Amino acid sequence: MLIRAECPSDIAAIAAVHRAAFANVPYSAQTEDRIVAALRAAGALQLSLVAEDHGALVGHIAFAPVRIGGQTTRWVGLGPVGVLPSHQGRGVGAALIERGLQQLRDSGCEGVVVLGEPEYYQRFGFFADPTLTLANVPPQFFLALPFTTSGEPRGEVSYPAAYAVE
Protein backbone atom coordinates (compact mmCIF):
# COMPACT_ATOMS: atom_id res chain seq x y z
CA MET A 1 0.00 0.00 0.00
CA LEU A 2 1.23 3.47 -0.90
CA ILE A 3 0.24 6.56 1.09
CA ARG A 4 0.86 9.90 -0.61
CA ALA A 5 -0.44 13.45 -0.88
CA GLU A 6 -3.53 13.90 -3.00
CA CYS A 7 -3.10 15.27 -6.50
CA PRO A 8 -5.68 16.86 -8.82
CA SER A 9 -6.27 13.62 -10.71
CA ASP A 10 -7.42 11.99 -7.42
CA ILE A 11 -10.39 14.28 -6.79
CA ALA A 12 -13.12 12.12 -8.36
CA ALA A 13 -11.75 8.93 -6.76
CA ILE A 14 -11.57 10.62 -3.34
CA ALA A 15 -15.23 11.59 -3.61
CA ALA A 16 -16.13 8.04 -4.63
CA VAL A 17 -14.22 6.60 -1.66
CA HIS A 18 -16.13 8.78 0.81
CA ARG A 19 -19.51 8.08 -0.80
CA ALA A 20 -18.88 4.33 -0.63
CA ALA A 21 -17.29 4.38 2.83
CA PHE A 22 -20.20 6.21 4.46
CA ALA A 23 -23.13 4.97 2.33
CA ASN A 24 -24.53 2.68 5.02
CA VAL A 25 -23.23 4.37 8.16
CA PRO A 26 -26.23 5.37 10.30
CA TYR A 27 -24.51 8.24 12.15
CA SER A 28 -23.35 9.85 8.87
CA ALA A 29 -25.30 12.41 6.87
CA GLN A 30 -23.43 11.12 3.79
CA THR A 31 -21.85 14.54 3.20
CA GLU A 32 -18.21 13.54 3.65
CA ASP A 33 -17.40 13.80 -0.06
CA ARG A 34 -18.93 17.29 -0.16
CA ILE A 35 -17.06 18.32 2.99
CA VAL A 36 -13.75 17.39 1.38
CA ALA A 37 -14.69 19.25 -1.82
CA ALA A 38 -15.72 22.33 0.18
CA LEU A 39 -12.49 22.24 2.21
CA ARG A 40 -10.49 21.98 -1.02
CA ALA A 41 -12.43 24.85 -2.63
CA ALA A 42 -11.88 27.03 0.45
CA GLY A 43 -8.15 26.28 0.54
CA ALA A 44 -8.67 24.73 3.97
CA LEU A 45 -7.14 21.29 3.38
CA GLN A 46 -4.02 21.54 5.48
CA LEU A 47 -3.16 17.92 4.72
CA SER A 48 -4.90 15.52 2.35
CA LEU A 49 -3.53 12.01 1.94
CA VAL A 50 -4.64 9.06 -0.15
CA ALA A 51 -3.97 5.34 0.12
CA GLU A 52 -3.40 3.31 -3.02
CA ASP A 53 -3.52 -0.45 -3.32
CA HIS A 54 -2.13 -1.85 -6.58
CA GLY A 55 -2.65 1.55 -8.23
CA ALA A 56 -6.28 1.96 -7.10
CA LEU A 57 -7.23 4.68 -4.64
CA VAL A 58 -8.80 2.92 -1.63
CA GLY A 59 -8.66 5.49 1.18
CA HIS A 60 -8.46 9.18 1.98
CA ILE A 61 -7.93 11.39 5.01
CA ALA A 62 -8.32 15.15 5.43
CA PHE A 63 -6.99 17.52 8.07
CA ALA A 64 -8.10 21.16 8.32
CA PRO A 65 -7.19 24.02 10.66
CA VAL A 66 -9.46 24.68 13.63
CA ARG A 67 -9.98 27.67 15.87
CA ILE A 68 -9.99 27.25 19.63
CA GLY A 69 -11.61 29.76 21.93
CA GLY A 70 -12.14 31.98 18.88
CA GLN A 71 -8.41 32.13 18.20
CA THR A 72 -6.33 30.90 15.29
CA THR A 73 -4.12 28.03 16.45
CA ARG A 74 -1.61 25.52 15.14
CA TRP A 75 -4.18 22.78 15.78
CA VAL A 76 -6.08 20.87 13.12
CA GLY A 77 -9.17 18.72 12.92
CA LEU A 78 -8.94 15.18 11.57
CA GLY A 79 -11.66 14.11 9.20
CA PRO A 80 -13.16 12.85 7.29
CA VAL A 81 -11.26 9.63 6.87
CA GLY A 82 -12.77 7.05 4.54
CA VAL A 83 -11.82 3.65 3.21
CA LEU A 84 -13.57 1.65 0.52
CA PRO A 85 -15.73 -1.06 2.14
CA SER A 86 -13.72 -3.74 0.31
CA HIS A 87 -10.58 -2.55 2.12
CA GLN A 88 -11.98 -1.81 5.58
CA GLY A 89 -10.53 -3.82 8.43
CA ARG A 90 -7.16 -4.10 6.69
CA GLY A 91 -5.37 -1.23 8.44
CA VAL A 92 -5.80 1.33 5.64
CA GLY A 93 -7.51 3.90 7.87
CA ALA A 94 -4.96 3.39 10.64
CA ALA A 95 -2.09 3.82 8.19
CA LEU A 96 -3.59 7.05 6.87
CA ILE A 97 -4.07 8.38 10.40
CA GLU A 98 -0.56 7.44 11.52
CA ARG A 99 1.07 8.97 8.43
CA GLY A 100 -1.03 12.12 8.76
CA LEU A 101 -0.22 12.54 12.44
CA GLN A 102 3.49 12.09 11.77
CA GLN A 103 3.51 14.64 8.94
CA LEU A 104 1.61 17.12 11.12
CA ARG A 105 4.07 16.65 14.01
CA ASP A 106 6.97 17.14 11.62
CA SER A 107 5.39 20.32 10.22
CA GLY A 108 5.12 22.01 13.62
CA CYS A 109 1.43 21.43 14.20
CA GLU A 110 0.65 21.61 17.93
CA GLY A 111 -2.22 19.13 18.10
CA VAL A 112 -5.18 17.41 16.48
CA VAL A 113 -8.84 17.07 17.45
CA VAL A 114 -11.33 14.53 16.16
CA LEU A 115 -15.00 13.78 16.57
CA GLY A 116 -15.19 10.01 16.69
CA GLU A 117 -15.35 6.70 18.49
CA PRO A 118 -13.10 6.81 21.55
CA GLU A 119 -12.26 3.10 21.33
CA TYR A 120 -10.87 3.57 17.83
CA TYR A 121 -8.96 6.84 18.25
CA GLN A 122 -7.46 6.11 21.68
CA ARG A 123 -4.99 3.71 20.07
CA PHE A 124 -3.41 6.71 18.33
CA GLY A 125 -3.13 8.62 21.62
CA PHE A 126 -6.34 10.67 21.46
CA PHE A 127 -8.27 11.30 24.68
CA ALA A 128 -11.26 13.31 25.85
CA ASP A 129 -9.82 16.61 27.08
CA PRO A 130 -12.30 18.56 29.21
CA THR A 131 -10.53 21.83 28.32
CA LEU A 132 -11.46 21.43 24.63
CA THR A 133 -15.13 21.29 23.70
CA LEU A 134 -17.26 21.08 20.59
CA ALA A 135 -20.78 22.53 20.71
CA ASN A 136 -23.62 20.01 20.93
CA VAL A 137 -21.26 17.02 21.12
CA PRO A 138 -20.99 14.69 24.12
CA PRO A 139 -17.48 15.24 25.52
CA GLN A 140 -16.51 11.56 25.36
CA PHE A 141 -16.72 11.65 21.54
CA PHE A 142 -14.62 14.79 21.06
CA LEU A 143 -10.98 13.82 21.41
CA ALA A 144 -7.64 15.60 21.37
CA LEU A 145 -4.04 14.69 20.73
CA PRO A 146 -1.62 17.46 21.77
CA PHE A 147 1.85 17.30 20.26
CA THR A 148 3.32 19.77 22.76
CA THR A 149 2.79 20.31 26.47
CA SER A 150 3.34 24.05 26.56
CA GLY A 151 0.65 26.60 25.92
CA GLU A 152 -2.14 24.18 25.05
CA PRO A 153 -5.22 26.15 24.01
CA ARG A 154 -8.46 25.83 25.93
CA GLY A 155 -12.01 26.53 24.90
CA GLU A 156 -14.60 25.72 22.31
CA VAL A 157 -13.28 24.35 19.02
CA SER A 158 -14.70 25.57 15.74
CA TYR A 159 -14.17 23.90 12.39
CA PRO A 160 -14.05 25.63 8.98
CA ALA A 161 -17.47 26.43 7.49
CA ALA A 162 -16.92 23.68 4.90
CA TYR A 163 -17.85 21.09 7.54
CA ALA A 164 -21.41 22.45 7.59
CA VAL A 165 -22.26 21.46 3.99
CA GLU A 166 -25.54 19.67 3.40
Q: Give dist(CA 68, CA 65) in Å, integer.
A: 10
Q: Does the 2-164 domain belong in CATH 3.40.630.30?
A: yes
Question: pLDDT at position 27, please?
Answer: 82
Paired sense of beta strands 142-146 and 47-53, if any: unpaired
Tell the burial category of 81 from Cβ atoms under 10 Å away from its Cβ (0-12, 13-18, 19+).
buried
> Which of 56 and 151 is assigned the larger pLDDT?
56
β-pair partners for 48: 62
For 3-22, how does the pLDDT look when each residue is reduced to its tens digit (9 = 90+)?
999 999 999 999 999 999 99
For 58-112, how does the pLDDT look when each residue is reduced to its tens digit (9 = 90+)?
999 999 999 999 999 999 999 999 999 999 999 999 999 999 999 999 999 999 9
Residue spans of the domains in the chain: they are 2-164
Assess contact for 57 and 36: CB atoms under 8 A.
no
Across the range 108-122, mean pLDDT stands at 96
Question: pLDDT at position 163, please?
Answer: 93
